Structure 1
Amino acid sequence: MANRVFSPADVARIVEHMNDAHSEDLVRYAEAYADVTEVEGARMTSIDAEGFDLEVEQEHATVAVRIEFDAPLDTVDEARGALVEMAMAARDAAER
């Protein structure tokens, strides 16, 4: 499916922002939503209306992970809201 929601510039801006400012949240996304264990680091590589892709570093491997949104997004603002909501839920889960 074509990425009708996000322009290439939107994707680049979101990916850069997430990698620069929210690296800890990216690790928590991998742990909470992709059930990846022993995560040493994570980078967002892409985002679209359906979800986002991470490159997750473990001690002996780097794995590609796809995390789907609960529902397809219609706007860039919805992406921000979904990412914030997912980050807060993952933080809560990590604190338990």
Structure 2
Amino acid sequence: MADHVFSPEDVSRIVGHMNDAHSEDLVRYAEAYGDVTEVEGVRMTGIDVEGFDLEVEQKSATVPVRIDFDAPLDTVDEARAALVEMAMAAQDAAER
């Protein structure tokens, strides 16, 4: 595990922002990186230097999904960059 951790305040801010402003990206993360289908809704429940956690609503169940970053992150700025990059890649994949 990386030496760095995100503060509880950073985690709360990132999770809140993603849930409030990026719900479509969360759905794409679940589909593209979590291999989840029939997604009806998604909430981010946590993030750390290794990856992030989603709660994915499907017709029949709500399932936890863990998505790892390619490499552990050191800073909140790196987390922001990784989430943006993953969102753009997932959007490109969805449009193909």
TM-score band, normalised by shorter chain: over 0.9
Q: How does 1:22-61 map to 2 (within 5 A)?
A: 22-61=22-61
Gaps of at least 5 residues in structure 1 are none
Give the RMSD, CA atoms, in angstroms: 1.3
Please tell me whether residue 62 in structure 1 is matched to residue 62 in structure 2.
Answer: yes
After the TM superposition, which segments of 4 or more aligned residues of structure 1 sit over 6 Å from their partners? none
**Distance in 1 of aligned mates of 2:75 and 2:36:** 28
Aligned-partner SS, 1:81: helix
**Distance in 2 of aligned mates of 1:61 and 1:24:** 19
The answer (yes or no) to whether the contact 1:3–1:48 under 8 Å persists in 2 is no
TM-score (norm 1): 0.96
> Which residue is equivalent to 1:14?
14
TM-score (norm 2): 0.96
- % of aligned pairs identical? 84
Between the two proteins, the alignment pairs up a number of residues equal to 96
Aligned-partner SS, 1:40: strand
Deviations 1:56-92 (A, max 9, x none): 0001100000000000000000000000000000000
**Distance in 2 of aligned mates of 1:56 and 1:47:** 15
**Distance in 2 of aligned mates of 1:3 and 1:40:** 36
The answer (yes or no) to whether the contact 2:2–2:74 under 8 Å persists in 1 is no
Gaps of at least 5 residues in structure 2 are none
